[in-house]
Structure 1
Amino acid sequence: MREYQSLAVEQHGPVAHVMINRPAKANSMDEAFWSEMVEIFEWVDTTDSVRVAVISGAGRCFSAGIDLNMLAQAAGSMVSDIGRNAERIRRNILRLQAAFNAVDECRKPVIAAIHGYCIGGAIDLIAACDMRYATTDAHFSIKEIDVGMAADVGTLQRLPRLIGDGIMRELAYTGRAVYGEEAERIGLVNRVYPDHASLLEAVMDIARQIAAKSPLAIRGTKEMIRYSRDHSVADGLNYIATWNAAMLQSEDLKLAVAAQMSKKPAEFAD
């Protein structure tokens, strides 16, 4: 795996640890970040030996969101024609959305470990993850409203399904800060921990627990959850019936049943 400009990746057995790695800039999301996210999560998706991904921030925080210098450069590239500006802006927004779609659409579970600032674009990122865990001092804010724009990289589309419509609207309209314990109470994160070290230890333990399960069963479970989010109950039931018509013939099912009966852990192929 090559070295990256804005991210760092380590593989610990079946767990890939992806770190936003611009600590001197509060892990703000610069131009390189967006293309590197797509590349890295394509690698996570297609590398059989990786079964779970954890994403965290290096240094003092998770991420302060999009790099404002990047926004300034985009503003400086505008031309006089409104239509051409609109086409350019739209194309760029879709490019940014693709970075977090890569997380959402990854076949492997992705877990966010959040400490310190998690604002603006960082909320878009964690909303695309499967689960979120945080420190008690984690600071969440849908900050886009304070710079005169609507969040456009996934927060407004994904967050209502995590914390409910009413509280999402309050946070999106006011931009107010939410800290770790409130984030847990409203369902933004699953659990909070007293410090960054205990957070990472716990999240890595959860990742290893998931990695020990049948990768086909985990794949099917994530696919069904994602599909059911965007379809009716009837559609979801029909899809799982078709999916499991094949997957229930997997060797993993026999191994899992035998392990349950013998009370010994199963070892599944990648």
Structure 2
Amino acid sequence: MSETTTQPTPPVLEALQITLADHIATVRLNRPDKANAMNWAMWQEIRTAMQWVDRTPEARVVIIEGEGKHFTSGIDLGMMMGLQAQIKDDCDGRSREKLRQLVLELQDTLSSIERCRKPVLAAIHGGCVGGGVDLISCTDMRYCSLDAYFTIKEIDIGMVADVGTLQRLPKILGHQGIVREMAFTGRKVEAAEALRIGLVNQVFESREALQAGVREMAALIAAKSPLSIRGTKEMLNYSRDHSVADGLNYIATWNSAMLMSSDLMTAMMASMSKQTPQFKD
């Protein structure tokens, strides 16, 4: 999959690190000394990273992982403590309006993962706490190492999870009782249970095996027709939130516009000649 052409240069960020190789973009949470706590810079940069991936043709698939001991410990408590100053206003109504806009801003950051046209795979090790669960709920597939655990921690700091977990996780697990138990108790869900309830696709013995396994899966996706992959994600997200009839109508319209692509002919010719197809980004 390697190419001799010059690769696009990812943006240099403060709380994230982005790399691109063999059509696979890796977005790494990069505050290991703070257990990758999600500070204001990280929230903003997640959206920057996903927008960069979305508009970079050479990036066909994304892996999100964490540097250090944990995937993420969730929202940075220092950021939480500073919210009062951000929303301060002499008018109580305006102060609360600012708080609502701030929550919507954080929601939009994580929704940028879902909006990204490229598949996003989460590689989770160690703790995935609070906002981390909100984050992985936006990804297309989730994989973890044996040491991983997940907790909807917001209940233990006296708040309601408000940036996506309670909206997305029931649709991922398909089991209201499990989601409610996690949200009401804040208990840890270990890797084996996460696999059993459908929170993750696969559990790997070690972090090294996790990284290798997820990269292998990403490479399989990157080898497919990029146009078809982008359309498939669009259809899956749309169908999740609409009726079967709406979904069928949308795919009919989509394929009437996208089906007759060069990728279709490339794939068919490669299949007949038993060769590996090479697609345009």
TM-score between the two structures when normalised by the length of structure 2: 0.94
Is the contact made by 2:24 and 2:218 (CA closer than 8 Å) also made in structure 1? yes
Q: CA deviation at 1:85?
A: 2.0
Distance 1:2 1:256 in 2: 33
Distance 2:150 2:223 in 1: 31
Q: State, as a whole percentage, how many aligned pairs show the same letter.
A: 52
Find the counterpart in structure 2 of residue 8 from structure 1: 17
Map 1:1-270; keep pairs closer than 5 Å. 1-77=10-86, 78-79=88-89, 81-163=91-173, 164-270=175-281
> What amino acid sits opposite 1:182 in the alignment?
E
> What amino acid sits opposite 2:80 in the alignment?
L
Distance 2:132 2:31 in 1: 13
2:62 is paired with a residue whose SS is: strand
Q: CA deviation at 1:86?
A: 1.1
> What amino acid sits opposite 2:68 in the alignment?
G
Q: CA deviation at 1:260?
A: 1.8
Q: CA deviation at 1:29?
A: 0.3
2:280 is paired with a residue whose SS is: coil
Distance 1:223 1:209 in 2: 19
Mind listing any 5+ residue stretches in structure 1 that lack a counterpart?
none
Q: CA deviation at 1:136?
A: 1.1
Q: CA deviation at 1:266?
A: 0.4
Deviations 1:39-90 (A, max 9, x none): 1110000000000000000011100000000000113443453312211110
Mind listing any 5+ residue stretches in structure 2 that lack a counterpart?
1-9
Distance 1:181 1:80 in 2: 50
1:159 is paired with a residue whose SS is: helix
Q: How many residues align?
A: 270
Q: CA deviation at 1:110?
A: 0.3
Aligned-CA RMSD value: 1.0
Is the contact made by 2:149 and 2:191 (CA closer than 8 Å) also made in structure 1? yes
TM-score between the two structures when normalised by the length of structure 1: 0.98
Distance 1:85 1:117 in 2: 34
1:213 is paired with a residue whose SS is: coil
Deviations 1:87-129 (A, max 9, x none): 1110100111111110001000000000001010000000000
Distance 1:214 1:3 in 2: 29
Which runs of at least 4 in structure 1 moved beyond 4 Å after TM superposition?
none
Deviations 1:146-185 (A, max 9, x none): 1111101100111001112221111011110001110000
2:82 is paired with a residue whose SS is: helix
1:268 is paired with a residue whose SS is: coil
